[in-house]
Chains A and B, each alone.
Chain A
Amino acid sequence: MNTLSEDKPFRFIPKTAVGKGLLGLYLLSFVAIALSVSGMIFSDAKMLGPMPEVVLWAYFWYGIINVVLLGTYFYLFKPWSEAATEYINAGSKARIKTQSRGSGSGDDPKPAADMKGDD
C-alpha cells in the first residue's frame, strides 16, 4: 500500500447546501420511481390527466432529475470546465516554452500511452 491516500481531492459532491440539495433531489427521484416500479404507488393501468399514471409519474421524476442535471452543470461542471481549460492551457504553454528554450530539436516527450511498463 502506498501513501497517496491523503491526496484525494477528486470528490464530485460538494459539501454545500446546493450540492447536498442536488444530491438529495436526485436520490429522492430514484426512491419515487422505485415505489412506482415496485407496484406501491402510481402503478395502475389508469389515466392520470392525459396519460397513463405510470408514464406521467415516471416522467415527472425524470424531469426533476433533468433539473438536477442542469443544476449540476451550472453549479459544478461549468466552473470545473473553465478551471480545467486553464489547467490544460497552462500545461500547453509551459511545454511550448520549454521547447523554445531547449536545444532546438523541439521534440515532444513520447506520449505516455506509448510507454511500456518497465518500472
Chain B
Amino acid sequence: MVLTFTNIALALGAYLVVVLGIAYVAMSRLDVTPDDYYLAGRGLGTLVLTGTVLATWFSTFAFLGGPGTFFSSGSGWLWFGLFNITGPILIWVIGTRFWLLGRKFGHVTPSDLLAQFYEGDDSIRIIVAVIAILALVPYSVIQLTGAAQALVGALGAQQYFSTGVLLLMGMVALYLFVGGLRAVAWIDTLQAVIFMPALIITAAATVYWAGGLSAGWSATLAENPELWTFSAGGTGSWYTGALVWTMAWVFIPHMWQRMLMAKNPKVIARTAAVSGTVSLWVITFSALLIGGIGSSLITELPDGTAADGFMTILYAEFLPVGAIIITVAAFAAGMSTISSQILTTSSIFVRDIAKKPFKPNMDDSKEARLGRYFTIFFSLVVVGIALSPAAERAIIPLASDGVALALVYIPCVLGMLFWDEASTAGAKWSLIIGFVFLQIAIWTPIGGIFPVFGPPVYGLALTAVVYYSVSKTTASVPEERQAAYREILIKGMRIENPPTAADPQPSDD
C-alpha cells in the first residue's frame, strides 16, 4: 500500500532537507540588522517578491480551503476571484505609499508608520501592534490545521491531526530559527513553484477523471444544483467576504511588510500585476475546477474528514500516490505562510511593544535575539490553539475573522495619507473602538444579530465614523509632521512623463 504515514513522512523529510539547505545559504548571507532579518534587506526583486506574495497569499487558505470551499459552498466562494484581481490595485494605491514612506523613514512594522505620523504616540504604537499580532493568530492557526487536515484526508484517520500540526510546526521552527526572513522569502518562492503546479495538475486530473469539462460540470449541476446558483437576498456574506479580503488584505501585517521588501518601485508595481493575474487564472481557477467538478466525483466526505482535506481525499480515491505529493505541497503552503507570519509578529512584538516604548536603546543584536525568543513563544501559542476545540472551525471562516481585524487600520491610514484634519486622538479611539467591536462581534453570539452583511462591514463603518468625528473635534496632527510625510508622497507619487505621446498628461493635481 502506497498511502502510509511512513511514506508521507519520508516525502516530507526529503522536502525538509531541501528547505534546510536553502535556510543554511540564507543564514550565511544574513546580517543581524532588523532590516535584513525582517525585511530581507529591502532588496527583493520581482521574481522573489512575487513568489513570496503568492506563497503567503495562497497559503493553506487557498490551496486547501479554496477547493474545499468550492466543494462545500459552490458559487458562494466565487468572490475570491474578485478579491484576487482587485486586491493588487490596492497594492498600487496603498502599498506604493507604504513603500515610499518606509524607504525614506526606515519603517519596519505598521506601528512604525502610524505611530510616527500620529505624533510618535506610544499608545498608538502598542495598540497597532496588539491588533496586528491578534489578527495573525487565526491566520497562523489555519496553516497548521489545514496541513493536518490534508494528512488526515490522505490517511483517512483523524488520529493523524495532532501529528500533522506538530510536524509542520517543527519543520518551520527549524528553518525559521536559522534563516530569518531572507530564508522565508527564498523558500516561499520554492513553495510557490511546488504548489502552483500541484494545483494545475490536480485540476487537469479532476477534469480528466470526470470525463471532460462539460461532462464534469453537468454532473456537478445535476448533483448539487443549489450550490451553483444565486438568488435574490442572502448574498450579504458574498459581499462581506469580497470586501473584507479586498480591503483588509494589504493591511494584514505580514502583507504590509512585504510592501517594504521591494528593491525598487518597479518591483512592487510588477509584483502587483503578476500576482493578481496568476492568482485569478492559476490558483483560484484551479481550485474552482477541483472543488466544483470534484464534487461530482466525491459526493460525500469520509467519516472524520473535513472539506479542507478535499484534495487529498480526491487523490486517495483516484491516485493514491498523488495524495503524498499533495500532502507535501499542503505542508509547503502552510510552512511558507506561517513562517512569515511568525516573523512578522516577532518583529512587531520586539520593536513596537518591547523596544520603542520601553527600551529605545536596545541594540540590533539584542533585538534579533529577543525576536527569536518571541518566535518560540508565538509558535507554542499557535500550536496550543490549533490543538484545541477553538480551531475546529473550517479554514476560511477562521482566517477571515483574523483578516477582518486589519480593517480597523483603514481609516487612520487613509487619514494619514489623504486628510489634513487627521488627528492622533481620532486614530487612537477608532483603533480601540473598532478592535473591541470586532472582537465582540466575531467571537460572541452578538455577531449573529447584524442584518445582511457580516460584522466586519459594520466594524469598518463604526471605525470610520469614530475616526472622522473624533478627528473633527480634536487637534490635527501638527502641520510640520504632516508636511514631512506629504512632501514624500507628493514628490514620490508624481508621474513625470505621460505614458504615451498621444495621451494627455495624467493629472496629478
Give the shortest distance, in Å, between A47 (CB) and chain B (any CB). 6
- The distance in angstroms between the C-alpha atoms of A52 and B265, with both chains bound, is 40
- The answer to whether A37 touches B495, judged by C-beta atoms less than 8 angstroms apart, is no
Known: A76-B499, A86-B496. A51 touches B217 (CB 8 A): yes
B159 at the interface (CB under 8 A from A): no
Give the shortest distance, in Å, between B378 (CB) and chain A (any CB). 23
- The distance in angstroms between the C-alpha atoms of A63 and B341, with both chains bound, is 31
A-side interface mostly: helix
B285's partner among A2, A59, A87 (CB-CB below 8 A) is A59
Known: A55-B78, A83-B495. A65 touches B85 (CB 8 A): yes
For B78, the chain A residues whose CB sits under 8 A away are: 54-55, 58
Give the shortest distance, in Å, between B172 (CB) and chain A (any CB). 28
CB contacts under 8 Å to A, within B240-272, are 264-266, 268-270, 272
- The distance in angstroms between the C-alpha atoms of A3 and B478, with both chains bound, is 11
- The answer to whether A16 touches B507, judged by C-beta atoms less than 8 angstroms apart, is yes
Give the shortest distance, in Å, between B120 (CB) and chain A (any CB). 2
Known: A45-B226, A84-B100, A117-B120. A78 touches B82 (CB 8 A): no
B300 at the interface (CB under 8 A from A): no
B446 at the interface (CB under 8 A from A): no
CB contacts under 8 Å to B, within A65-107, are 65-66, 69-70, 72-88, 91
Known: A37-B239, A66-B277. A111 touches B81 (CB 8 A): no
B-side interface mostly: helix
B235's partner among A37, A85, A112 (CB-CB below 8 A) is A37
For A74, the chain B residues whose CB sits under 8 A away are: 499
Q: Taking CB as reference atom, which chain B residue is nearest A18?
A: B503
- The answer to whether A72 touches B228, judged by C-beta atoms less than 8 angstroms apart, is no
- The answer to whether A44 touches B229, judged by C-beta atoms less than 8 angstroms apart, is yes
- Which of B10-18, B139-147, B485-493 touches A? B485-493
A16's partner among B225, B228, B292, B503 (CB-CB below 8 A) is B503
Q: Taking CB as reference atom, which chain A residue is nearest B86?
A: A65
Known: A77-B92, A77-B272. A84 touches B81 (CB 8 A): no
Q: Taking CB as reference atom, which chain B residue is nearest A33?
A: B82
- The answer to whether A15 touches B507, judged by C-beta atoms less than 8 angstroms apart, is yes
Give the shortest distance, in Å, between A119 (CB) and chain B (any CB). 6
- The distance in angstroms between the C-alpha atoms of A62 and B288, with both chains bound, is 14
- The distance in angstroms between the C-alpha atoms of A113 and B260, with both chains bound, is 13
Q: Taking CB as reference atom, which chain B residue is nearest A46?
A: B221
Supplied contacts A4-B482, A52-B217, A82-B265, 8 more A-B pairs, CB within 8 Å: A12-B92, A14-B507, A51-B213, A62-B84, A81-B266, A81-B268, A117-B116, A119-B478
Interface, chain B (partner A; CB < 8 A): 75, 78, 81-82, 84-86, 88-89, 92-93, 96-97, 100, 103-108, 112-113, 115-116, 118-121, 213-214, 217-218, 220-221, 225-233, 235, 238-239, 264-266, 268-270, 272-273, 276-277, 280-281, 285, 288, 292, 356, 360, 417-418, 420-421, 476, 478-484, 486, 489-499, 503-509
Kindly list the 4 A-B residue pairs having the minimum CB-CB distance in the complex, ordered from nearest: A117-B120, A111-B106, A14-B506, A2-B479
Interface, chain A (partner B; CB < 8 A): 1-5, 7-12, 14-19, 33, 36-40, 43-47, 49-52, 54-55, 58-59, 62, 65-66, 69-70, 72-88, 91, 111-119
